[in-house]
A and B are shown apart, each in its own frame.
Chain A
Amino acid sequence: MTPLDAIATRPVPQLLEEGGAGDQPPKPSTRGGGPLASAAKYARIFRIALIERMTYRGDFLFGTVLRFLPIVTTILLWRAIYEGSGQSELGGFQYREMVAYLLLTNISRMFSSMPGLAAGIAREVREGTLKRYLVQPLDLVGYLLASRIAHKVAYISMAFLPYAGLFYICRGYFDGFPDAPTLAAYALSLVLAFLVGFFFEATVGMVGFWFLEVTSILYIVMTLNYFISGHMLPIDLLPQPWAGILKVLPFQYMAYFPAVVFLGKVRGWDLVLHLALELFWVIAFMVLARTLYRTGLKRYSAFGG
């Protein structure tokens, strides 16, 4: 079950050699009749994943509603913190802004969290089921991305009403909607947050080619990520040099950055620069995930296949 207790790897099996590349694993293929056919294929994957996700909508909606209750305790905790401090502002955040920030990080995490993605990739490697992506004109990363978009669409559609209700109740913590350019930047930061989260976790999952079981690594990474992404509190509250270090790392884009964009705390060229940096991290993790995938396939043994 664990990386340290991993099963020894075997040479590349017959299955991979049948690809005609000798000791080279077959390249993950996206072919299937041109870009239009390829788009139709991934649209179909999206549709199937969406239907699957909506099957348990009652259970899903119930779970979403329940998630709001810890938000109540968080609001109460921060109220007690501000009252105890006797200050109106902590780390550049007034109490209202702090609550708004913590509410907005829930939206950020709604986009950037990828439950089960890395563990799923590692399971495909460990159980040998990864071969289905090698023998079909289907790219693993493309397939997972289409499925994940479907899951997010389903989740966001179902969570929209409860979240709209929550934000309506908590409207007193916000200064209304930001202007159109800020809203556009916020929407872009959320889309990029989704992509950073996806490719980051896919990268962790690809480590499964070497360790087979990544759950343990994942627990550590995700536990740490919960704090350093700014989900628990704004990074600005941390002392230097920690705040400075965390603002250079990509994790802030998964919770902190979209929230401060909405609150108008990052503006002008600073905003453009950070959006460019967020895009840079998307590309960096995408390249890393693909590189690890290609390298990993060279040592893949198709256990259980």
Chain B
Amino acid sequence: MFAALGRYTLAREMAFRGNFLVKVSVELLWLGILVAFYRTVFASTSNIANWSEPEYFFFVGCYFALNGLIEMLFLDNCNEFAELVRTGDLDFLLLKPIDEQFLVSCRRIDWGTAPNLAMGAIVMVLALVQSEWVFDPLRVAAFFITFGCGVSIAYSCMFLLTSISIWMVRNQSLMEMWWLFTSLARYPREIFSGRWAEPIGGFFTYCIPILLVSNVPANVMVRVLDPWMIAWTVVASASLLWISRRFFHFALKSYRSASS
């Protein structure tokens, strides 16, 4: 089913090739801006929160790829959810003999952000080469596992916010909340140091673990292979996935099928 939906959305995307190319160009431009920004910063400093330049660029590449995957698979779908609720068109998805969560969050793939994965991967590889990284299968395995967990945590947070649309209907601010989350995941966890910042960092690591999303995969690959943090990331991702699913089904009980 997912492959069929993917083929269908790819055919749609390719009907407007010009648009696709522009979308890719925008993403490429944004990555270029990020690289220019950090190159400018690293011209004045040797490290940011004890992350050296190659390590930091690996982090940037990891975040870019992970965020690209989230945007490609889920963001458009979740964005449309409030409109489905408002118009009552959610009925058509609920009546289908397919899992509701799957249909709500995965029915369309935004192929325009798919190249972000490759762009992020290129930045990561270049950073590894620059840091003269020595191949370690354990680190690579840990990276892929935590990367998957990062996607799962980000998806669960987004889906929790999406589910609130059942009550709010207008969820413009909720989507802004999502951008807030991504801004938290965009920087190393180590910047949350000091009297007032440490509790914030702790809150977003252990209560709403959005700081784990790109921090843990980047850390295990180029910095510290911390088994406890990996275990916590796995537990957090599985728990959040379960909580978000339960919350969605709870929210659906309040759906009133208005306007349909």
Could you tell me if A5 and B18 are in contact, using CB atoms closer than 8 angstroms? yes
B33 CB to nearest A CB, Å = 5
Could you tell me if B186 and A85 are in contact, using CB atoms closer than 8 angstroms? no
Contacts across chains A and B counted by CB atoms under 8 Å: 107
Q: Which of B170, B173, B183, B197 has the most CB of A within 10 A?
A: B173
CB-CB under 8 A from B18, the residues of chain A are 2-5, 216
B73 CB to nearest A CB, Å = 21
CB-CB under 8 A from B145, the residues of chain A are none
Could you tell me if B40 and A239 are in contact, using CB atoms closer than 8 angstroms? yes
* Alpha-carbon gap, A84 to B180, bound state (A): 25
CB-CB under 8 A from A87, the residues of chain B are 44-45
A248 CB to nearest B CB, Å = 18
Size range of the chain A interface in the assembly: 35 or more
Number of residues of chain B lying within 8 A (CB) of chain A? 41
Could you tell me if A80 and B25 are in contact, using CB atoms closer than 8 angstroms? no
- Residues 20-63 (chain B) with a chain A CB within 8 angstroms: 22-23, 25-26, 29-30, 33, 36-37, 40-41, 43-50
A238 CB to nearest B CB, Å = 6
A25 CB to nearest B CB, Å = 28
Could you tell me if B19 and A216 are in contact, using CB atoms closer than 8 angstroms? yes
For A238, the closest partner residue in chain B by CB is: B40
Could you tell me if A91 and B44 are in contact, using CB atoms closer than 8 angstroms? yes
Could you tell me if B180 and A81 are in contact, using CB atoms closer than 8 angstroms? no
- Residues 178-211 (chain B) with a chain A CB within 8 angstroms: 179-180, 183-184, 186-188, 190-192, 194, 197, 200
Could you tell me if B33 and A85 are in contact, using CB atoms closer than 8 angstroms? no
Could you tell me if B33 and A226 are in contact, using CB atoms closer than 8 angstroms? yes
Could you tell me if B19 and A219 are in contact, using CB atoms closer than 8 angstroms? no
Could you tell me if A66 and B40 are in contact, using CB atoms closer than 8 angstroms? no
Could you tell me if A216 and B33 are in contact, using CB atoms closer than 8 angstroms? no
* Alpha-carbon gap, A81 to B49, bound state (A): 7
Could you tell me if B22 and A219 are in contact, using CB atoms closer than 8 angstroms? yes
CB-CB under 8 A from B46, the residues of chain A are 84-85
Tell me if B176 is interfacial: C-beta within 8 Å of chain A.
yes
A232 and B183 in contact, given A81-B45, A219-B22 (Cβ under 8 angstroms): no
CB-CB under 8 A from B36, the residues of chain A are 227
Tell me if B92 is interfacial: C-beta within 8 Å of chain A.
no
Tell me if A180 is interfacial: C-beta within 8 Å of chain B.
no
- Residues 61-78 (chain A) with a chain B CB within 8 angstroms: 62-63, 66-67, 69-70, 72-73, 76-77
User: Looking at the complex, which one of A69, A223, A232 makes contact with B29 (CB distance below 8 Å)?
Assistant: A223
Tell me if A7 is interfacial: C-beta within 8 Å of chain B.
no
* Alpha-carbon gap, A69 to B182, bound state (A): 11
User: Looking at the complex, which one of B172, B176, B177, B186 makes contact with A73 (CB distance below 8 Å)?
Assistant: B186
CB-CB under 8 A from B45, the residues of chain A are 81-82, 84-87
Tell me if A175 is interfacial: C-beta within 8 Å of chain B.
no
Tell me if A233 is interfacial: C-beta within 8 Å of chain B.
yes
Tell me if B135 is interfacial: C-beta within 8 Å of chain A.
no
User: Looking at the complex, which one of B29, B173, B192 makes contact with A62 (CB distance below 8 Å)?
Assistant: B173
A113 CB to nearest B CB, Å = 15
User: Looking at the complex, which one of A63, A73, A220 makes contact with B22 (CB distance below 8 Å)?
Assistant: A220
Tell me if B102 is interfacial: C-beta within 8 Å of chain A.
no
User: Looking at the complex, which one of B30, B50, B187 makes contact with A223 (CB distance below 8 Å)?
Assistant: B30
B176 CB to nearest A CB, Å = 5
Tell me if B228 is interfacial: C-beta within 8 Å of chain A.
no
Could you tell me if A85 and B170 are in contact, using CB atoms closer than 8 angstroms? no
CB-CB under 8 A from A239, the residues of chain B are 40, 43
For A56, the closest partner residue in chain B by CB is: B170
A280 CB to nearest B CB, Å = 27
13 new A-B contacts at CB < 8 Å, known A2-B16, A217-B22:
A4-B19, A59-B172, A66-B173, A66-B177, A76-B191, A77-B187, A84-B47, A85-B46, A90-B44, A216-B26, A219-B23, A224-B33, A227-B36
Could you pull out 10 A-B pairs where Cβ atoms are within 8 angstroms?
Answer: A1-B19, A4-B18, A5-B16, A56-B170, A69-B183, A73-B187, A84-B48, A87-B44, A238-B40, A239-B40
Interface residues of A (CB under 8 A from B): 1-5, 56, 59, 62-63, 66-67, 69-70, 72-73, 76-77, 79-87, 90-91, 216-217, 219-220, 223-224, 226-227, 232-233, 237-239
Interface residues of B (CB under 8 A from A): 16-19, 22-23, 25-26, 29-30, 33, 36-37, 40-41, 43-50, 170, 172-173, 176-177, 179-180, 183-184, 186-188, 190-192, 194, 197, 200
